[in-house]
Protein backbone atom coordinates (compact mmCIF):
# COMPACT_ATOMS: atom_id res chain seq x y z
CA UNK A 1 0.00 0.00 0.00
CA UNK A 2 2.89 2.28 -0.90
CA UNK A 3 1.75 5.91 -1.09
CA UNK A 4 -1.55 5.45 0.77
CA UNK A 5 -0.43 7.29 3.92
CA UNK A 6 0.89 10.15 1.78
CA UNK A 7 -2.31 10.41 -0.26
CA UNK A 8 -4.39 10.31 2.94
CA UNK A 9 -2.22 13.01 4.53
CA UNK A 10 -2.58 15.25 1.50
CA UNK A 11 -6.34 14.82 1.51
CA UNK A 12 -6.58 15.64 5.23
CA UNK A 13 -4.43 18.73 4.69
CA UNK A 14 -6.51 19.84 1.69
CA UNK A 15 -9.82 19.53 3.54
CA UNK A 16 -8.36 21.07 6.71
CA UNK A 17 -7.26 24.15 4.74
CA UNK A 18 -10.55 24.34 2.81
CA UNK A 19 -12.37 24.47 6.14
CA UNK A 20 -9.99 27.04 7.57
CA UNK A 21 -8.51 24.94 10.37
CA UNK A 22 -4.90 25.07 11.52
CA UNK A 23 -2.94 21.91 12.34
CA UNK A 24 -3.12 23.04 15.97
CA UNK A 25 -6.93 23.18 15.87
CA UNK A 26 -7.19 19.65 14.50
CA UNK A 27 -4.46 18.27 16.76
CA UNK A 28 -6.15 19.70 19.84
CA UNK A 29 -9.61 18.53 18.80
CA UNK A 30 -8.50 15.01 18.01
CA UNK A 31 -6.31 14.72 21.12
CA UNK A 32 -3.07 14.27 19.23
CA UNK A 33 0.23 15.99 19.48
CA UNK A 34 0.80 18.90 17.09
CA UNK A 35 3.95 17.33 15.64
CA UNK A 36 2.10 14.03 15.12
CA UNK A 37 -0.54 15.92 13.13
CA UNK A 38 2.27 17.19 10.87
CA UNK A 39 3.56 13.64 10.44
CA UNK A 40 0.04 12.47 9.48
CA UNK A 41 -0.25 15.14 6.80
CA UNK A 42 3.22 14.29 5.45
CA UNK A 43 2.21 10.63 5.22
CA UNK A 44 4.84 9.51 7.71
CA UNK A 45 2.46 7.53 9.90
CA UNK A 46 -0.34 5.04 9.34
CA UNK A 47 -3.31 6.21 11.36
CA UNK A 48 -6.02 4.02 12.77
CA UNK A 49 -9.61 4.11 11.55
CA UNK A 50 -10.54 5.54 14.96
CA UNK A 51 -8.13 8.48 14.46
CA UNK A 52 -9.62 8.99 10.98
CA UNK A 53 -13.05 9.37 12.59
CA UNK A 54 -11.72 11.75 15.24
CA UNK A 55 -10.06 13.99 12.64
CA UNK A 56 -13.23 13.90 10.50
CA UNK A 57 -15.29 14.89 13.53
CA UNK A 58 -13.08 17.95 14.16
CA UNK A 59 -13.20 18.89 10.47
CA UNK A 60 -16.95 18.37 10.38
CA UNK A 61 -16.86 15.98 7.46
CA UNK A 62 -17.58 12.32 6.79
CA UNK A 63 -14.64 9.99 7.52
CA UNK A 64 -15.12 8.43 4.06
CA UNK A 65 -14.54 11.84 2.46
CA UNK A 66 -10.97 11.82 3.80
CA UNK A 67 -10.15 8.49 2.11
CA UNK A 68 -8.16 8.87 -1.10
CA UNK A 69 -9.62 7.14 -4.15
CA UNK A 70 -7.61 4.05 -5.04
CA UNK A 71 -6.45 5.42 -8.38
CA UNK A 72 -4.97 8.59 -6.84
CA UNK A 73 -1.90 6.91 -5.32
CA UNK B 1 -15.14 6.51 19.86
CA UNK B 2 -16.72 3.74 21.90
CA UNK B 3 -18.35 1.16 19.66
CA UNK B 4 -16.61 2.16 16.43
CA UNK B 5 -14.37 -0.92 16.27
CA UNK B 6 -17.38 -3.15 16.90
CA UNK B 7 -19.49 -1.44 14.23
CA UNK B 8 -16.61 -1.65 11.77
CA UNK B 9 -16.08 -5.35 12.57
CA UNK B 10 -19.76 -6.10 12.02
CA UNK B 11 -19.74 -4.30 8.69
CA UNK B 12 -16.63 -6.16 7.50
CA UNK B 13 -18.23 -9.47 8.55
CA UNK B 14 -21.50 -8.60 6.81
CA UNK B 15 -19.81 -7.68 3.51
CA UNK B 16 -17.43 -10.65 3.76
CA UNK B 17 -20.39 -13.03 4.09
CA UNK B 18 -22.37 -11.29 1.34
CA UNK B 19 -19.44 -11.82 -0.99
CA UNK B 20 -19.00 -15.41 0.06
CA UNK B 21 -15.54 -15.14 1.62
CA UNK B 22 -14.39 -17.03 4.69
CA UNK B 23 -12.32 -15.35 7.43
CA UNK B 24 -9.43 -17.49 6.20
CA UNK B 25 -9.73 -16.11 2.66
CA UNK B 26 -9.64 -12.52 3.87
CA UNK B 27 -6.91 -13.15 6.45
CA UNK B 28 -4.70 -14.78 3.84
CA UNK B 29 -5.35 -12.11 1.23
CA UNK B 30 -4.67 -9.23 3.60
CA UNK B 31 -1.62 -10.88 5.14
CA UNK B 32 -3.02 -11.10 8.63
CA UNK B 33 -3.32 -13.92 11.05
CA UNK B 34 -6.64 -15.82 11.02
CA UNK B 35 -7.23 -15.18 14.73
CA UNK B 36 -6.52 -11.47 14.25
CA UNK B 37 -9.19 -11.41 11.54
CA UNK B 38 -11.64 -12.81 14.10
CA UNK B 39 -10.63 -10.11 16.58
CA UNK B 40 -11.19 -7.43 13.91
CA UNK B 41 -14.71 -8.70 13.24
CA UNK B 42 -15.48 -8.82 16.97
CA UNK B 43 -14.33 -5.22 17.33
CA UNK B 44 -11.49 -6.12 19.69
CA UNK B 45 -8.82 -4.25 17.75
CA UNK B 46 -8.51 -0.86 16.13
CA UNK B 47 -7.22 -1.41 12.61
CA UNK B 48 -5.19 1.04 10.59
CA UNK B 49 -6.51 2.75 7.48
CA UNK B 50 -3.95 0.72 5.51
CA UNK B 51 -5.42 -2.55 6.81
CA UNK B 52 -8.89 -1.26 5.91
CA UNK B 53 -7.72 -0.80 2.32
CA UNK B 54 -6.11 -4.26 2.24
CA UNK B 55 -9.31 -5.92 3.50
CA UNK B 56 -11.39 -3.91 1.00
CA UNK B 57 -9.06 -5.00 -1.79
CA UNK B 58 -9.56 -8.68 -0.91
CA UNK B 59 -13.33 -8.19 -0.66
CA UNK B 60 -13.36 -6.26 -3.93
CA UNK B 61 -15.15 -3.25 -2.49
CA UNK B 62 -14.38 0.39 -1.78
CA UNK B 63 -12.70 1.01 1.57
CA UNK B 64 -15.30 3.70 2.30
CA UNK B 65 -18.06 1.11 1.98
CA UNK B 66 -16.68 -0.70 5.02
CA UNK B 67 -16.91 2.41 7.22
CA UNK B 68 -19.94 2.40 9.53
CA UNK B 69 -22.13 5.49 9.33
CA UNK B 70 -21.68 7.67 12.39
CA UNK B 71 -25.24 7.21 13.62
CA UNK B 72 -24.99 3.40 13.62
CA UNK B 73 -22.81 3.15 16.74
Structural domains present in chain A: 4-59 (1.10.260.40)
pLDDT band for position B2 (cuts 50, 70, 90): confident
Residue A2 has pLDDT above 90, yes or no: no
ipTM for the assembly: 0.93
Give contacts of B70 with chain A, Cβ < 8 Å: 53, 62-63
CA triple A64-B39-B37, angle to 5 deg: 75
Distance CA B18, CA A65 (A): 24
> In this structure, are residues B45 and B12 in contact, taking their beta carbons and an 8 Å threshold?
no
> In this structure, are residues A44 and A58 in contact, taking their beta carbons and an 8 Å threshold?
no
d(CA A46, nearest CA chain B) in Å = 6
Partner residue opposite B53 with nearest CB, options A1, A48, A50: A1
Query: pLDDT digits over B11-68, tens only?
Result: 999 999 999 999 999 999 999 999 999 999 999 999 999 999 999 999 999 999 999 9
Give contacts of B1 with chain A, Cβ < 8 Å: 50, 53-54
User: How much is the pTM?
Assistant: 0.94
Amino acid sequence: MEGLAEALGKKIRKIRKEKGFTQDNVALGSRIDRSYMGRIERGEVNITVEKLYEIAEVLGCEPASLLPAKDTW
